[in-house]
A and B are shown apart, each in its own frame.
Chain A
Amino acid sequence: MVSQQNGRASVFYDPKIRGIFFQAVLFAALAVFVSWIAGNTIANLRRAHIASGFGFLNSRAGFDVSNALIPYSSDSTIARALLVGLLNTLLVAAAGIVTATAIGFLVGIGRLARNWLVRQICTIYIEIFRNIPPLLVIFFWYMGVLSVLPLPRNSIKFPFDMYLNSRGFYMPAPVLGEGAWVTGAAFMTGIILAFVSASWARRRQMATGRRPSVLWVAIALIVGLPLAAFALTGFPLSLDVPKASVFNLTGGIQVKPEFLSLYLALSFYTAAFIAEIVRAGILGVNRGQTEAAYSLGLKPGPTLRLVIVPQALRIIVPPLTSQYLNLTKNTSLAVAVGYADLVAIGGTILNQTGQAVEIVAIWMVVYLGISLVVSVLMNWFNAKTALKEK
């Protein structure tokens, strides 16, 4: 009563003080909980005679990895084994993202096609792959398809010296000769020049209203320049063709079935989701936009490129980002077929050394780091495509 006469509520009802009080309680509870866990963990580790800390990273790994991208043997350090795993994870993720995006955009546009048959095929594709666990699709490729392929002796032959058998997919490996770097440099220069010419064309269009041809110039720069350099340096490239020996194929690039099944499954699975995102994005652009573009005299091609796609991208990019992240996280399913990704190698180390806390911490840091990088990149792209309101 006294407090009300003063025009103030009791301290007990002051939202600020209550807030501080509740947060203090939460903080104290969390602190007690964490210290309890930490105490238990330390006691458990001591009982199991496991030294905590990251010192074990420098000891000898002692296990082999079948598909390492960098030189690695069982005598390498554990840290290097983890690096091998990380590179494998990134390889599958990058390859999967590219393929899933390509299939996803094709199927998504196909679902909106005027052609009835194409529409039905795309719908069936989406409904099948969206509703089946990715792990099952991985097993499907690994155990159902790739492992029942013929032995290396009776490989299925493809054109250009490519072979498919139960040990994977073989293709010729390019061997770079002397002066090959000139071609690479020419390629990079071509790309840079293409960007320069595109920005020049844009400025020209702004100034004169006329749009100089961009596409052909870009193709000439990006394809023609390296080709010319390649010819001038005397074709410094030879192919290492896979050859059949008695039991196996030697030479060339071998893509192992573990990688192939993981890559195919993740691409097909994620593509189904991307297709739905693309479809929603295109449908999300008001029909009036197309009609307005036509009435301004734009042809269907420029209408698509200048009016519909930029607006559709605005809707597509944010969910696309989360699909890319999902695909990257799903590469951890590699452990089920024995593809040596970060989780598989981490699991092996975990079983050998018992350093559970450290390994899980490394996993978390790496995956959170990848998520962060992809998010930043895609947010930058999103900011570029987003509606610029005044």
Chain B
Amino acid sequence: MQEHDLNFVRVEMAIAEAPPRSGKGLIGWIRNNLFASLGDTILTLLGVALVVLIVPPLADWLFLHAQWTGTDRTFCATKAQGGIHPDGWSGACWAFVGQKFQQFLYGRYPIAERWRVDLVGALFLVLLVPLLIPRVPRKGLNALLFFVAYPIVSFFLLLGGWFGLSHVETPLWGGLMVTLVLSFVGIVASFPMGVLLALGRRSRLPIVKGVCVAFIEIVRGVPLVTVLFMASVMLPLFLPPGTTFDKLLRALVGVSIFAGAYMAEVIRGGLQAIPTGQYDGADSLGLSYWQKMGLIVLPQAVKLVIPGIVNEFIGLFKDTTLVYIIGMFDLLGTVTQNFSDANWASPQTPLSGLVFAGFVYWCFCFAMSRYSQFIERRLDRERKR
């Protein structure tokens, strides 16, 4: 009965206004992101000053003035220091890194036997890469090969003394190889230890729980250096008189114990995140404790904490540098040891060697942290589905 329809319904879209010119394009972006306010402008200017102060001298030192080739210290020293460069020269001594590169990788491992280290490294990559890519099938078999078969094969290959391979004593091992061996063994040994300790910590049996809590908290409460000292000084005391004990093995024991305690806390986090319904469900199916944990709880818990495990591994990888303190030569140790080589001693050598070692460590750790983030995003997506 209405004469006029007072409702107004707009049928066509209004023509969009162009955004203000100042907020558009490169100038708009610069204004919004760098000079939005007086404070921002000051910060930007300070930032530019910082970049100008650091980047050009750094680039000069790293690349432009760097010495890339050479056979001894004269190539990396100024005339006053007995070298070839004009006074006041300062640049990276990559010649030193180039000459010592093999040693940084293998330590004093006999040159004729280095193919064994290469083979172990190649096997490592062949088994690791498919394990890291989620799409590749047969994860179980792959993991079994990687975590059980591979360490055994590597042990025989690296140490030798079997199948006609000559025996290479561990004091000859060094460089990146030792770093990788330490962190790999640390992580492989710490995992079962961490699982047992985490289960023990959540156990209802008071003695089991007490022992596990005490172990975890004591090891986590002291620095790795003291654990390593303990492994290197006290292990020989603990064993029957006359037992000799390989130095590398002592470091491995120390690193594994340390990593195990930290791993236990990561896995405990996963165990706590599993809803009680899963435990109850397993109980109501009549599964035993180990069936319940092994088939229902742990697979879910471990999957949940993969990012945490990778982070633990990054920490362990960085911590292996500490074996230098108990007199072993991992990558950092080998690099540092070479600073005292009279043939290469120059003011530029330490900085160059350390920058190189830092770059290697950085590459490994950065790659691992990126992988951990990737897995985290993937798990998040699965959980939301």
Contact = CB atoms under 8 A, between A and B. Distances in A.
Contacts of B34: 115-117
Interface in A118-164: 118, 121, 127-128, 130-137, 139-140, 143-145, 147-148
Interface string B38-52: 001001100110110
Contacts of A347: 229
B362 A132 contact: yes
Interface string B229-258: 110011011111100000000000000000
Contacts of A371: 221
A143 B223 contact: no
Interface in B159-189: none
A23 B222 contact: no
Interface residues of B, number: 56
Interface string B42-86: 011001101100000000000000000000000000000000000
Interface in A169-220: none
A333 B224 CA distance: 9
B292 to A, nearest CB: 13
A140 B34 CA distance: 33
Contacts of B43: 113, 115, 117-118
B237 A30 contact: no
Contact of A329 (B33, B222, B234, B361): B222
A116 B204 CA distance: 53
Given A117-B34, A136-B358, A335-B325, A329 B336 contact: no
A295 to B, nearest CB: 23
Contacts, number: 157
A372 B222 CA distance: 11
- Grouping DSSP codes into helix (H, G, I), strand (E, B) and loop, the B interface class, with mixed when no group exceeds half, is helix
Nearest to B226: A363
Interface of B: 32-34, 36, 40, 43-44, 47-48, 50-51, 204-208, 211, 218, 221-226, 229-230, 233-234, 236-241, 314, 318-319, 321-322, 324-325, 332, 336, 339, 347, 350-351, 354-355, 357-358, 361-362, 365-366, 369
Going nearest first, the 3 A-B pairs with the smallest beta carbon separation are A131-B365, A332-B223, A144-B351
Interface of A: 19, 22-23, 26-27, 30, 37, 40-41, 43-45, 47, 113-118, 121, 127-128, 130-137, 139-140, 143-145, 147-148, 329-333, 335-336, 343, 347, 350, 356-357, 360, 363-364, 367-368, 371-372
16 contacts: A19-B204, A41-B238, A47-B241, A118-B44, A132-B365, A133-B361, A135-B322, A136-B357, A139-B350, A140-B355, A143-B354, A144-B355, A332-B223, A333-B325, A356-B233, A364-B221
